[in-house]
Structure 1
Amino acid sequence: MPSAQELADRVESGDLRLYELQDHADPKTAAEARRLLLKEETDADLDTVADFSFPAERADPNIENMIGAAQIPMGVAGPVPVDGSAADDDFYVPLATTEGALVASVNRGMAAIRDAGGANAEVLKYGITRAPVFSVADVKEAADVVEWVEDNEDQIEEVANATDPHIEYQEVTPYVVGDNVYLRLHYDTGDAMGMNMVTIASRSVAELIEDETPASLVAVSGNLCNDKKPAAINAVEGRGYTVAADVFLPSDVVEDRFGTTAEAIAEVNTRKNLVGSAKAGALGFNAHVANILGAAFLALGQDEAHVVDGSNAITSVEARDDGLYASVTFSSLPVGTVGGGTGLPTQSEALDVLGLAGGGDPVGTNGDALAEVIASAGLAGELSLLGALAGRHLASAHEEHGR
């Protein structure tokens, strides 16, 4: 087998391309050759990038042109008691981030939830979507296609379910815009987030529709799905997990943990998260759930781009006679415990901390539990930031932690 330096020299001379290195060497040697090439071309020092602990071949499904690994500090917050339909335990939540004070903030929110006896969490709805777009001659033809789809859902279900033993077709919602027909297909993908699964299933459904109707497939994703982009349709109809977490904090817990009152926190939430977000035309009416999602996604092997749709959440806070009620409802949280980055060693270990690595028994229960835990962590993060703002100690907290 050629050495890494020999392979790097061949790429530099134009004899090989970067992506062809894997055909001439094992993944570790190929990664080393790419680093040598980059050092020659850019004079960059990649010693730390090269210092990773997992076998390079474990990353084959997750990366192309691998040169090493990006190491992000990982902390843990908790424990947070969660009383959910799937998650019913005390959980330590791994969070990977470069933002100082974030883990400390979430930890403080979890401490308040713990003092209050724990958070409730429930998956309210589940279904991952893919929406192929078809072209037709005119609106009359579009109506005919929609009529065929609505009359033949049994065929659509049969074709979709045949593509994977772990996929379950749920329903289809047609949309017509002029000579465009969009079919928003909904699926249950068990413990997997399932984007690859639903794309393959939707391609087979699209081929059936092309065979049976005048419609012509333009793209297997027509952006009405809608993933990795801000979208009102996800806020209304949901995508992935629609999941909520809530807690009631007695007045003494609010005072002890946040140094403020229930009324002050409720006012901040109303004026900031609700009125301020509405004036800004925001889709998410929350303080910073993307912070918690981003850190949890990186630690737990989720697709980080789904922080965009995952942060489509509403935080609701109400001052009551004897304390504070708070909830966070996530309308479109696409997460899973199998597939994607969940099989990488670091992320698998982090899922083990939650006790949620791999598939659930029965299927789907680990994915449900992960959604409920992340929602509870998001609730903790919201409580902590709102408390810091109401108590006017957000800046001092960052100063204290040296950020």
Structure 2
Amino acid sequence: MHAVAGVPMKWVGPLRISGNAATTETAVPLATYEAPLWPSVGRGAKVSMLVDGGITATLVDDRMTRSVLVEADDAATAHSAALQIDARFEELRETVRTCSSYAELVGIRHEIAGNLLFVRWEFTTGDASGHNMATLAAERLLDHLLWTIPGISYGSISGNYCSDKKATAVNGILGRGKNVVTELLVPRATVHDVLRTTAASIVRLNLHKNLIGTVLAGGVRTANAHYANMLLAFYLATGQDAANIVEGSQGVTVAEDRDGDLYFSCTLPNLIVGTVGNGKSLPFVEANLSRLGCLVDRESGGNARRLAAIAAATVLCGELSLLAAQTNPGELMRAHIGLERRSVGS
């Protein structure tokens, strides 16, 4: 018997988005126990509606990865195998096409440690987030390598160089899933009236907190306040694998004071989202994806890319609002105490 865990969900917004993956005005669903998240993201969404073009979301890359591990007799044999793999790219691409109508091999990277060869396969996976699709293709590729390259043997179908649901430098550098950059230029008056702060204050806090503070904490390829909060709420509401917020929360917030106007940007290299696959047939998920315009007839991958742009814009809204709040002593705690008590009382 399956029980259903009910997480409170609200639609927040609308927010305005433009860019190469989505141009829309839409509210967004957020499922969370953290009641202050809704009005916080809502404030960022309000800012986006007051800016021409709203949040510009630029999708710069799209690839799901799975690494396999093979064991060689020695390092020289592992190196020879790696060279053969690189030389057979087109052959390996055709091998992937025999096992999937949507997976496409787009890149190969590898590392050698002793006699161990780690091969990171990179795929596009249509509108699926691509975990299972990439694993199936990786298994087929691994079988092909073991059959055709001498001196190597099976190590594992997953060698952790993927790197799945772990915050790693390789994912921060190379990306995993959708890599989206969001930007917003907020006029001085809006910064003052809606965010109740100044561009200079947010820039200073971003430097001291997100950049220096994260360096001191030993953060891995990341410098942000709370991407994970928005991503978890958005992932739960849209049927995503919530554990992907581990790498998804890696990202960098950039803020600049442009003569009193605020340039604000969030870069998220590891957005793992899909509009088809496991979890997407749940009635509430299907309804939410439909309302977001992510279940329409588009070219393969178009719906998932749109969803990633909306997710990234949602992150920016929450990040901007929180940093604004933290420039004002006491504002954050007053909001949490007031809103969470009200939520409990209701």
Which bracket does the TM-score occupy, shorter chain normalised? over 0.9
Cα displacement (A) at 1:180: 0.4
Runs of 5+ consecutive residues of structure 1 not aligned to the other structure: 1-30, 32-65
More helix by share: 1
Residue equivalent to 2:274: 336
**2:45 counterpart (110, 128, 131):** 110
Could you tell me the TM-score, scaled by structure 1's length?
0.82
| Moved beyond 2 Å, runs of 4+ | none
Match of 1:355 in 2: 293
Contact 1:174–1:184 (CA under 8 A) maintained in structure 2: yes
| Whole-angstrom distance in 2 between the partners of 1:144 and 1:258 | 58
Query: Do structure 1's residue 202 and structure 2's residue 132 form an aligned pair?
Result: no
Q: SS in structure 2 opposite 1:342?
A: coil
| Mapping 1:1-400, distance limit 5 Å | 31=1, 66=2, 68-117=3-52, 118-213=54-149, 214-283=151-220, 284-357=222-295, 360-392=297-329, 393-400=331-338
Superposition RMSD in Å: 1.1
The question of whether the paired residues in 1 share the 8 Å contact of 2:228 and 2:245 is answered with: yes
In the TM superposition, what is the alpha-carbon distance from 1:76 to its structure 2 partner? 1.1
Deviations 1:280-300 (A, max 9, x none): 011221010100000000000
Question: Normalising by structure 2, what TM-score?
Answer: 0.95
Instruction: Please give the alpha-carbon distance, in whole angstroms, between the structure 2 residues aligned to 1:122 and 1:171.
Output: 21
Q: Secondary structure at the match of 1:396?
A: helix
Counterpart contact for 1:87–1:369, Cα < 8 Å: yes
Q: Give the drift of 1:155.
A: 1.6
| Residue 227 of structure 1: how far off its partner (Å) | 1.0
* Paired AA for residue 305 in structure 1: A
What is the percentage of aligned positions where both structures have the same residue? 35
What one-letter code is carried by the residue in structure 1 that aligns with 2:141? Answer: V
Query: What is the one-letter code of the residue matched to 2:333?
Result: A
Give the deviation of 1:348 after TM superposition: 1.0
Amino acid at match of 1:240: G
Q: Is the 8 A contact 2:200 2:260 kept in 1?
A: no
Moved more, 220-229 or 114-123: 114-123
Give me the whole-angstrom Cα distance separating, in 2, the residues matched to 1:244 and 1:333. 11
Distance 1:269 1:343 in 2: 40
Which protein shows a greater Rg? 1
Give 3-state SS (helix, strand or coil) of 1:247's partner: strand
Looking at structure 1, the residues matched to 325 and 107 of structure 2 have their Cα atoms a distance apart, in angstroms, of: 44
Q: Deviations over 1:314-342 (max 9, x none)?
A: 01111110310000000111111111212
What is the distance in 1 between the residues matched to 2:340 and 2:244? 30
What is the aligned residue count? 337
Superposed displacement of residue 399, structure 1: 2.3
